[in-house]
Amino acid sequence: MAARTTTLGPRERRRTADRRFGARLLGSAAVAAVTAVPFGLLLVLVEGQWRPLRRLDVSAARRLHEIALEHPAWTSTLRFLSDRVWDPLTLRTAVALLTLWLLHRRAWRLAAWSAVTAVAGGVIGLLVKTVVERARPSLEDPVARAPGFSFPSGHAMTATTSFAVLLLVLLPVVPRRWRAACWGAAVLSVVGVGFTRVALGVHWFSDVLGGWLLGLTVVALTAWAFEAWRADTGRRPADVGEGLEPELTGERPEAGGGG
């Protein structure tokens, strides 16, 4: 007797794809903590107090601290950017508002990706800080202070994940002629965040580099999970230059859809 075959309907296929997407999304967030090869190498060098890296950290901290002391107006600008414009709370609020907007549009899976990426980045960064327990720079006549441990930089990591989420979600609704400018603004902001933290003497350069690398790892793995869901549902691969969900346009998606 011939084996009986069953064919899944569109609704069943969508539910199966959703389950796989959820598993991959959560799994990738957990794997991000242990699979970041560049970050892992940097962590080994930091923990082992590798002399070339230590010399770079100390020389950068001292030179930028001298500039900060010599130019109070410049230092005040850096503090404003670090504590107001690029503050983690400000960036997380922006991502939260974006997630609410996606929920309003019924872009359920894209909203889930946004939320999980932001939360995973924050939790993983805090866990690594707790495990490494690296002290912040200790400088004479400090121009700024920050609580907690130093590695990786929470500001740098939050900026990396937040601007990546904002960029990869909103690119489809940005006119093509403005997309290069959006990429430039995001990269400039992420680099700027890192610079302010070192210039203000509250982080070593390697702390900032670690925040960038770990943030990129989280985004890359959760984005991979999202792209895997698109493949499961038969959608074409999305180019990074057009965002995670190119179908997200100014038109409201139908219920049940919406990447």
Name the nearest CA neighbour of 210 among 120, 124, 89: 124
- Domain tally, the chain: 1
pLDDT at 254: 39
Domain that holds residue 230: 35-242
Residue 170 included in any domain: yes
DSSP string, 161-172: HHHHHHHHHHGG
Q: Which amino acid is at 240?
A: V
CA 129 vs CA 51, 140, 228, 233: distances in Å: 21, 24, 31, 38
Burial class (CB in 10 A: 0-12, 13-18, 19+), 249: exposed
Residue 239 corresponds to which tokens in the numbers above? 């180019």
Q: Active-site residue among 65, 71, 104, 155?
A: 155
Active site residue 203: yes
Residue 252 included in any domain: no
pLDDT at 44: 81
Model confidence, pTM: 0.79
DSSP string, 18-44: HHHHHHHHHHHHHHTTT--HHHHHHHH
Query: How many of the other CB atoms lie within 10 Å of CB of 21?
Result: 21
Residue 5 included in any domain: no
Residue 15 included in any domain: no
Residue 60 included in any domain: yes
pLDDT at 257: 42
pLDDT at 253: 40
From first to last of its 259 residues, the chain has per-residue pLDDT tens of 444 445 556 667 666 666 665 655 565 555 555 556 677 778 788 888 888 988 998 988 888 888 888 888 999 999 999 888 899 999 999 999 999 999 998 888 899 999 999 999 999 999 999 988 888 988 888 888 888 889 999 999 999 999 999 999 998 888 888 888 999 999 999 999 999 999 999 999 999 999 999 998 888 888 887 877 776 666 666 666 677 777 777 544 433 344 4
Residue 258 included in any domain: no
CB 81, CB 196: distance < 8 Å: yes
Residue 14 included in any domain: no
Residue 119 included in any domain: yes
